[in-house]
Structure 1
Amino acid sequence: MSAPLRGALLVAGTTSDAGKSVVVAGICRMLARRGVRVAPFKAQNMSNNSVVTLDGGEIGRAQALQARACGLEPSVRFNPVLLKPGSDRRSQLVVRGKAVGTVGARDYFTRRQELREVVAAELASLRDEFDVVVCEGAGSPAEINLRATDLANMGLARAAEIPVLVVGDIDRGGVLAHLFGTVAVLEPEDQQLIAGFVVNKFRGDVSLLQPGLDQLVALTGRPTLGVLPFAEDLWLDAEDSLGTISGAPVGRPGPPHGTDWLTVAAVRLPRISNSTDIEALACEPGVSVRWADSPHQLATADLVIIPGSKATISDLNWLRANGIADALRARAIAGRPVLGICGGYQMLGTRIVDGVEHTAAVGAADVPDSATTRPCVVDGLGLLDLEIEFADPKIARQVSGIAGADSLHGYEIHHGRVTRTADPAWLTIDGDPEGSAREAIWGTHVHGLLESDEFRRTWLTEVAARAGRTGFVAAPGTSVADVRSAQLDLLADLVEKHVDLAALDQLIRDGAPADLPVIRTAR
């Protein structure tokens, strides 16, 4: 009998969105189904798609999904450092679930040792508690210009002596060059922890790829442990905003239960934050959801959603510049449904005062520390009678409530506070009024709201009536939680079928082989 499986693994990627998150989730689910006590870990994430843990901390959305794959509640331990970009130069820094300020590249460099200590402590704690910790890298380890401050790729692997699998997305093209090049540009000490490869999103006959994989072994001395096929049914909880492509459908909706489809246009904001509710709607049979970034894409939609934003005023200016603001006002006049969530809700009001994420000194979030700034005050779209003021500390909490006879659950992540409202409240959250409802315009600060199945069905029925889709019938049995669980099981099935599990176990248990060759390149 083999020894119990204990150890750790780091899954890195040749690029962002190569498949690191889903491969980690699949490995975690596969191990959990075998009875292994497994936990996910991402030392540092850069994403505006986040969730709130039970204790009010904030982590990357992918780590929440990976925790569920392991049968665990999401925890700040699984993602101790989170960067939330508010502009191209500055990001909000979240450490152990709490926002601690805004940083640029230079600030981050000065804090690297402090953050390394946070990461090392959390990883050591998880390895003590669990049999296996499956780590996810960030971006690509081949970004050698960032190696000095790296916390999540080879910096983590070297510090904790963890073997590394590199995932490449063959759907992008050039995957063999990506895999080879990722190893070749690394320092010899880093190369010696790269133990193998996984090819993701393969279409067709694997035998046609095999000669290339054989040459990759000859060139690098490292095997490909698996070739995962392209799976159209995997779409829920996509973390990277690169996946929100204008005009692209969200999900794979089943046919309607009634005679009418309900069409939804979700505005693809430049700094979009959290698309959970858009994906929840896409789970519904008969609901067709697409991303939109121009007025004409909103024209025929039965419902338009303005999602959350990490830069509310900047994204509001973008709505005005490209004509979407005018299209939304026309919808309101015509009584056609619009929903704003968090930042989208704030934009629907009459006035926003923001001295936290946006300032009037330079009109952007990337303000030099030496600049004199004052709060930026702008008019909202005026579709709701609502005023917002941004303030610290950030609100981050899980919530429960009711709407009519339906219970609901969700979470809030925002600096904006409602300072005045004259519209009826839409929801009751923890006993207090929340959100706004004016005819066919709704808004709320609550994310994840539409994952509450009964509430979602009731609300969609009202939306359909206001949109004139009298033949739309909300499907009675749709469960977002069940769809998510089925996708996690599909991931685990793909890993079990298409990855060399014996080799994977050995890698986790024994670490990278000691005799891995170094690829010599001109430096």
Structure 2
Amino acid sequence: MHGALLVAGTTSDAGKSVLVAGLCRWLHRQGVDVAPFKAQNMSNNSVVTTDGGEIGRAQALQAAACGLAPSVAFNPVLLKPGSDRTSQVVVHGRVDGSVTALSYRERKAALLEVVTQTLTDLRARHDVVICEGAGSPAEINLRATDIANMGLARAADLPTLVVGDIDRGGVLAHLFGTLAVLEPEDQALIAGFVVNKFRGDPALLEPGLAQLERLTGRPTLGTIPFAPELWIDAEDSLGHDGAVGRPAAPLGADWLRVAVVRLPRVSNGTDVDALAAEPGVSVRYVTAPGELTGADLVVLPGSKTTVSDLAWLRETGLADAVLAHARAGRTTLGICGGYQMLGRAVDDPHGVEAAPGRHAGLGLLDVDVVFDPDKHLGNPAGTALGETVEGYEIHHGREVRGHGSAPLVTLADGTPEGVDAGAVLGTHWHGLLENDGFRRRLLERVATTTGRAFRVSTTTSFAAARAAQLDLLADLVESHLDTAALEHLIEHGAPSGLRTVPPAGAP
């Protein structure tokens, strides 16, 4: 099999990322040499690749579905929002300035060449490439400079599926309307639809899908059911109720309760997914001080804007709640930006994040953080809590440790990283909780501190749990989509003569 396919969506969070991951896993299980591709991603959830760059975490997950290590080729353009109006631009894994929504338009012509050439190179190295769109192709105000949806599809002649989330309501209108607002040349590449997150009897939906095909001339290639056991994170989205994952019942008498502060510019919030994979560990995102009451572990996750998110902590009263939690001897963990907030001060002399100056931290750890102009990227390894660990780093902050600070992590060369102050811990490393041994030692410490009758599982493997989720996605693709039609699209492209909707000349 040789070819490519683009998965577009009626909206953001329609299911593009997980569908691409499922398609990639399905093909990989058949022995196909497949790779993922997302021309442009907007996310603060990123990873460091083996080639030393930075890409969206969703593309790293899709790479894992293909049995591949993450590469900058899978996501050549990454936008990391720093505010509602500005984003840092990462091109081929490296920071390449900042843009506003308007100024970014001026860069897109050059970036279209970047993404199309990257895709061409990727297709030369792999038999199949499954591409993911961004947002929705129905954003016609952005079509003239689009590089991720139909702009990419037209440039690379990609057959395109449109996926819609029926859980949101109005999915038939969303699918029809997405097609109808596109110009005829774009419509010619839309080959079919997929319905995501369906609950109930599919027979009730069939008449609507049949009418949709009569109206558009395009089939729905399948309806993916809502799968409550699916918790794998796609992008930056969080559960509507704040819960993370679906943990099994505890092995002991008690649950451990983890409160993760949902910062306004949270980054790599998926760091806590590994905690939610443990039996008896309840993980919830919180945004109010009262929600920390009774928590056994409080986590301050990463942040794209440490200084402003620290100010938000104080404005909301969460800073006082975190201080009270820590001073009561209960465990607090800071990761990357959250670690920086726990220190004495954040010094930003170059104005990397905010106006140049020194900003007081929460003072729970004996460490200062100084922002360097260049971003620190890496895939380090070492030991922590007596266990061998690996992780990845994406940050501007450089720690300046106090003389009495015990390290949380010790690198192979003896370099200290992070701080372990007993009840309060901090690290710049993302992915640390994915190390099974470290996670168990941390949870044992939390249970001992709180006196919970909690027993840590000795068999939970986060890597295995993630692999099982990818296999579940592939199972859903294989069981509920027309895989023969998918294979034909990948190899032969969109069929010719597809109807334009509305008919040409209609008002």
Q: Same fold (TM over 0.5)?
A: yes
Per the TM alignment, residue 98 of structure 1 is displaced from its structure 2 partner at its CA by 0.7
2:367: which partner in 1? 386
> Hey, what's the Cα distance between the residues in 2 that align with 1:132 and 1:399?
32
2:104 match: secondary structure: helix
- The 3 A distance-change label for structure 1 pair 318 and 352 is same
1:455 pairs, out of 408, 426, 438, with 438
Q: Please name the residue that 1:365 is paired with.
A: none
Contact 2:383-2:410 at 8 Å conserved across structures: yes
- Name the CA distance, whole Å, in 1 between partners of 2:165 and 2:74: 25
Tell me how far 1:232 sits from its aligned partner. 1.1
Partner of residue 168, structure 1: 164
Q: 1:400·1:429 contact (CA, 8 Å) conserved in 2?
A: yes
1:341 aligns with 2:335: yes
For residues 341 and 296 of structure 1, the distance between their equivalents in structure 2, rounded to whole angstroms, comes to 22
- Cα RMSD of the aligned pairs, angstroms, is 1.2
Q: Residue 378 of structure 2 aligns to which amino acid in structure 1?
A: R
Deviates more, 1:381-390 or 1:409-418: 381-390
Kept in 2: contact 1:399–1:430 (CA 8 A) = no
The residue number in structure 2 matching 1:416 is 397
- Partner residue in 2 for 1:261: 255
Match of 1:514 in 2: 496
| TM-score, structure 1 normalization | 0.94
Task: After TM superposition, give the deviation of residue 404 of structure 1 in Å.
Answer: 4.0
1:292-341 CA-partner distances (Å, limit 9, x unpaired): 00011101110000000001111111111111000011112211111000
Give 2:421's aligned amino acid.
R
Q: How far has the Cα of 1:179 moved from its partner?
A: 0.2
The aligned counterpart of 1:498 is: 480
Matched, 1:229 2:232: no
Superimposed CA distance per residue, residues 58-101 of structure 1 (whole angstroms, 9 cap, x where no aligned partner): 00011001101111111100000000000011111000011111
2:211 to 211, 215, 220: 215
- Structure 1 residues not aligned, in runs of 5+: 361-374
What are the Cα deviations for residues 378-411 of structure 1, in whole angstroms up to 9, with x where unaligned?
1111111221111121011111110243100110
The 2-side partners of 1:430 and 1:298 are apart by 36
2:13 is the alignment partner of 1:17: yes
Question: Does the 8 Å CA contact 2:385/2:441 hold for their aligned counterparts?
Answer: no
**Per-residue CA distance 1:322-367 (angstroms, 9 max, x = gap):** 110000111122111110000000001111122344232xxxxxxx
Match of 1:358 in 2: 353
Counterpart in the other structure of 1:69: 65
Quick one: which of 313, 317, 338 aligns to 1:319? 313
Q: Which residue of 2 aligns with 1:367?
A: none
2:122 match: 126
* Equivalent position amino acid for 1:378 in 2: H
- Within the candidate set 446, 451, 455, 1:473 is matched to 455
CA distance in 2 between counterparts of 1:376 and 1:330 reads 27
Q: Deviations over 1:169-214 (max 9, x none)?
A: 0000000000000001111111111110000000010000000001
Q: Does 1:444 align with 2:427?
A: yes
- Pick the aligned partner of 2:273 from 265, 275, 279: 279
| C-alpha contact (below 8 Å) 2:352/2:372 kept by paired residues | no
Question: Does the 8 Å contact 1:244/1:268 carry over to 2?
Answer: no
Who is 2:467 aligned against?
485
Give the secondary-structure state (helix, strand or coil) at the position aligned to 1:56: coil
Cα distance, 1:244 vs. partner?
4.8
C-alpha distance in structure 1 between counterparts of 2:51 and 2:2, whole Å? 28
Whole-angstrom CA distance in 2 between matches of 1:462 and 1:330 = 19
**Counterpart for residue 246 of structure 2:** 252
Aligned residue number for residue 152 of structure 2: 156
Does the 8 Å CA contact 2:352/2:373 hold for their aligned counterparts? no
Q: C-alpha separation between the residues in 2 aligned to 1:117 and 1:198?
A: 29
Structure 1 segments of 4+ aligned residues over 2 angstroms from their partners: 354-360, 419-423, 520-523
TM-score (norm 2): 0.97
Q: Distance in 2 between matches of 1:45 and 1:160?
A: 18
Task: Give the conservation status (yes or no) of the 8 Å contact 2:351–2:357.
Answer: no
